[in-house]
Copies of this chain bind each other. A is one copy, B any other.
Amino acid sequence: MPSDLPPLFQPALILHGGAGAIHRSTLPPDLYAQYHASLLEYLRSTRALLDNGASALDAAVHAVALMEDDPLFNCGRGSVFTAAGTIEMEASLMVTSVNAAHPSEGIVKRGVGVMGLRNVRHPIKLAREVLERSGGKDERDADGGQGRDRGTDGGSMHSQLVAPYVEDVLARQWGLEFMPDEWFFTQRRWEEHLRGLRGEVETVAMSQGTVGCVCLDRAGGLAVATSTGGLTNKLPGRIGDTPTLGAGFWAEAWEEEERKRAVAVSGTGNGDSFLRTAAARTACAMSRFSTPSPSLAEAVSAVAGPGGELQRSAGDRWGSTGEGQGGIIGIEAELEDPVVLETGDAQDRTKLRKGKVVFDFNCGGLWRAWVEDSGNGEAIERVMVFRKEYQ
């Protein structure tokens, strides 16, 4: 829903479509062109929403739902198969706000993950229902949904829910769209599954990872949405970083001297390494606790960049097992103290602030799309997979 709060920020956004051992030699031009076209399209439609005043949460869910319908990406339709030949999808959402007056401050649950999904068409939309349903019209009337009366909205204060119950019972009650197994089946992912079982090496770089989107809206709200089919040939019941608060996603705001800061990040790559380093929460903790206070860009590089926390977590197995490989995208925003804001001159008060879009990765490639500020007020759309342009 569009927000009627006064605009304080120029909206910002970044999408990712997976990271991993993607190299020029395994990414033919036609496959590159398909990913590029999809990401550019989803970037544009999400940006249009934000420019029209949509909340960060609406925009991030919109972007990820589009990628869940696109068989190019490892999420929703196009998800990879487990070792047992099944699909088990995961998705997550987290919100925060640099502006205390922003509606996302009213979402008491802050972050959720859903896991083990088989037939929900848009796992990210199920995550949204779980995020917004807290156990009552007013959660204070109902024990916070912690046990007794769960109130009127069918929710609870639970942050993480695994199927079958959340899918077979709750998603049906809440009216989510279901699709049969065949709809999720793609020949490419099935062959990848079979090649994996036979121990063959992949010669074409499909997107292995998670998709994600981080948005900053005009009112200063931040949202991160992440969705995945997981790891090809994972054991059934493996819970990755995507639905795990702090591992594959995080969003947080805090006070500093004369300013409030907010960050939101989404990760993709080797999920078990993200879990072992609590990668998303660790990057945000560096921003918040270290002195001098690093930018989110510096913190993301210290975790997901070359030689960072993720790479070091693989120890001497780095480069031989896939461990530690990945990338993180995010947005950082800051706002002056309300007192400073009130007393500043009129021009300062009407000038739109800007968030900072950040990303880094330590592996072959990270599919990403974002809007860059040219410096003279012009916004430039960017879609990239390597550090340098694809040639």
Spell out A's residues near B (CB within 8 Å): 84, 108-111, 113, 115-116, 139-140, 143-144, 146-149, 156-166, 170, 196-197, 199, 231-240, 244-247, 250, 270, 272, 275-276, 278, 281-282, 285-286, 289-291, 313, 315, 317, 320-323
Contact yes or no, B108 A317, CB < 8 A: yes
B139 touches A235 (CB 8 A): no
Contact of A157 among B143, B159, B272 (CB under 8 A): B272
Q: Which residues of B contact A285 (CB under 8 A)?
A: 281-282, 285-286, 289
Q: Can you list 9 pairs linking A and B with CB atoms under 8 Å apart?
A: A146-B323, A147-B233, A156-B235, A156-B238, A162-B162, A165-B236, A166-B235, A246-B278, A278-B281
Q: Which residues of B are found within 8 Å of A270, using beta-carbon distances?
A: 146
Q: Nearest Cβ distance between residue A139 and chain B, in whole angstroms?
A: 7
Residue of B nearest to A155 (CB): B235
Q: Say yes or no: B317 contacts A149, CB within 8 Å.
A: no
> With A144-B322, A237-B163 in contact, is A278–B290 under 8 Å at CB?
no
Copy number in the complex reads: 2
Asked whether, in the complex, the Cβ of B276 is within 8 Å of the Cβ of A245, the reply is: yes
B143, A322: Cβ atoms under 8 Å? Answer: yes
Which B residues are CB-close (under 8 A) to A278?
A: 245-246, 250, 278, 281
B contact residues around A161 at 8 Å (CB): 235, 237-239
Q: Which residue of B lies closest to A147 (CB)?
A: B233
Which residues on B sit within 8 Å (CB–CB) of A146? 231, 270, 272, 321-323
Q: How far is the CB of A133 from chain B (nearest CB, A)?
A: 11
9 other contacts beyond A108-B315, A165-B236, A246-B281, with CB at 8 A cut-off? A109-B272, A116-B162, A143-B321, A161-B238, A164-B237, A166-B235, A278-B281, A285-B289, A290-B290
CB pair A157 B111 closer than 8 Å: no
B281, A238: Cβ atoms under 8 Å?
no
